[in-house]
Each structure stands twice: as structure tokens, then as C-alpha cells.
């Protein structure tokens, strides 16, 4: 992440060798069709199938110690079912579910109606009983600070940045997931990184946490 903040062209201009996710042999697509016809069993099966991926996205956005992860996952599941009529099979069903989960979690964090841990900046990503050396604590602080920065970006920019940087999807995958041209995704990524650099220049606390000298941890 810090390398991208310093070099906004990195990884944005060169196309990925990995193709964008498409419908293909997606086994979940038949469940979507059945759910759209009102099949409640198919709805439940679909939610169970994408549940681990949805949970993973929500945890990445809110932090694993957030007290409302289950509630946000439930909200994401409801939103996914409501969004199924808009699914155009331009990506896999699981990717579509991850996008819905991401938007749901970002919205919850922006509303601040989730109970974030009091010591989020120090220990949210360190499991109970695990060793907590200074470098592990520093890494947790940086992840929490990056989530804080995401909440300050315009939603369209936060979405592509989270998909590409936080969740690790290629530019092409991100384009397919949100149904937006690749060049538009790259443009939003550049604007989001520029906004983050400006925020870091104004905020000494965040600059100290994820500033110079920490590239190896991000």
C-alpha cells in the first residue's frame, strides 16, 4: 500500500496476466436463477456457499475484533439477495457477493453504527493468546489506520481501492466486479491514492503510524 502511495503508477498501467472473473462454469449461477424465481432453499444454499467469503470481506473492512461483525454479515446477506436482480454474470457469483459485502461494511463503518474495539489501533488483528511483539502491534495499527482512511474517501474511490489493495483483486477483476471499464477503475485508483497522500500530509498521527520506514509490513 505504501509503495502505491509513493508511486501511483505502480500496478495500475500494466495489464494483469490473470483474466477477469466471468460466469463460465460458476456452480453458483444456477442457485441465483432459482433464488430469483423465489426458491427459498436456493437462497439459503447460496448464502451458505458465499458466507465464508462475505465474512472475510467484512472482517478485513471492520477488523476482526469489531463487535458487530455478525450483524454486518447478516445485513450483507440481505443486501445480496436484494441485489440479485442486478447481477449480470460479468463476474462470478462469489465476487458479486464480496462486492455487496464490501459496500455494506464500508457503509456501516461510515455510519459509525458498528462497535469498533476501543484499542483497535493496537490489537484488533492480534488473536487472543498470540505473541504480540512490537512489529505485530505496528502492523495492526497500520491496518486500522488504512481502514480509517478508506472511510474518508468518496465511496466509489474507497470501493475500488479496497477491492484492489485490501482484498487483492487485479484491476481487471475489480472492473468486472463493479461493472465499470478498466480505465475508469485505474482513474479512481489514482484519485483515491492522491487523496490518501493529501490526508497523510495533513494528519500527523496517521503519517506517524503508516509513514516512512514501514514498507515491509504493508
**CB contact at 8 A, 78 and 26:** no
**CB contact at 8 A, 111 and 72:** no
Predicted model pTM: 0.69
Q: Summarize the confidence of residues 50-79 as an average pLDDT.
A: 92
Which residues, other chains included, contact 186 with Cβ-Cβ below 8 Å and sequence gap of 6+?
A: 12, 13, 171
**pLDDT computed for residue 31 by the predictor:** 95
Whole-angstrom distance, CA of residue 98 vs CA of residue 57: 6
Query: In whole angstroms, how far apart are CA 155 and each of 36, 152, 178?
Result: 28, 9, 12
Q: What is the CA radius of gyration of the chain?
A: 18
Taking alpha carbons only, the member of 200, 183, 216 closest to residue 12 is 183
pLDDT exceeds cutoff 70 at 118: no
Q: Summarize the confidence of residues 130-158 as an average pLDDT.
A: 69
Res. 101 pLDDT band, cuts 50 70 90: very high
Position with higher pLDDT, 133 vs 90: 90
**CB contact at 8 A, 173 and 91:** yes
**pLDDT computed for residue 64 by the predictor:** 83
Q: Over the chain, what is the mean pLDDT?
A: 77
**pLDDT computed for residue 11 by the predictor:** 53
- Judged by DSSP in three states, 1 sits in coil
Position with higher pLDDT, 206 vs 87: 87
Percent of the chain with pLDDT over 70: 66
Q: Which three cell numbers stand for residue 169?
A: 483483486
**pLDDT computed for residue 142 by the predictor:** 65
**pLDDT computed for residue 62 by the predictor:** 87
**pLDDT computed for residue 24 by the predictor:** 53
Give all domains of the chain, ordered by start, each with its CATH number.
2-217 (1.10.1740.10)
pLDDT, one tens digit per residue, over 160-187 is: 988 888 788 899 999 988 989 999 999 9
Amino acid at each position: 500500500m505504501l509503495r502505491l502511495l509513493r508511486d501511483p503508477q505502480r500496478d495500475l498501467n500494466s495489464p494483469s496476466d490473470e483474466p477477469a472473473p466471468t460466469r463460465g462454469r460458476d456452480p453458483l449461477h444456477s442457485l441465483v436463477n432459482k433464488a430469483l424465481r423465489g426458491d427459498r432453499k436456493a437462497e439459503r444454499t447460496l448464502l451458505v456457499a458465499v458466507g465464508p467469503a462475505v465474512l472475510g470481506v467484512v472482517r478485513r473492512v471492520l477488523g476482526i475484533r469489531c463487535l458487530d461483525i455478525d450483524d454486518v454479515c447478516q445485513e450483507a446477506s440481505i443486501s445480496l439477495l436484494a441485489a440479485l436482480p442486478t447481477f449480470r454474470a460479468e463476474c462470478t457469483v462469489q465476487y458479486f457477493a464480496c462486492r455487496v459485502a464490501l459496500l455494506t461494511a464500508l457503509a456501516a463503518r461510515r455510519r459509525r453504527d458498528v462497535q469498533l474495539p476501543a484499542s483497535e489501533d493496537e490489537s484488533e488483528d492480534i488473536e487472543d493468546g498470540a505473541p504480540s511483539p512490537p512489529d505485530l502491534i505496528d502492523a495492526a495499527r497500520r491496518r486500522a489506520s488504512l481502514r480509517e482512511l478508506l472511510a474518508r474517501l468518496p465511496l466509489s474511490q474507497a470501493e475500488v481501492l479496497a477491492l484492489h489493495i485490501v482484498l487483492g483483486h487485479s484491476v481487471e477483476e475489480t472492473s468486472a466486479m463493479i461493472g465499470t471499464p478498466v480505465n475508469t477503475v485505474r482513474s479512481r485508483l489514482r484519485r483515491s491514492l492522491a487523496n490518501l497522500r493529501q490526508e497523510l500530509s495533513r494528519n500527523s498521527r496517521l503519517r506517524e503510524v503508516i509513514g516512512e520506514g514501514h514498507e515491509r509490513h504493508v
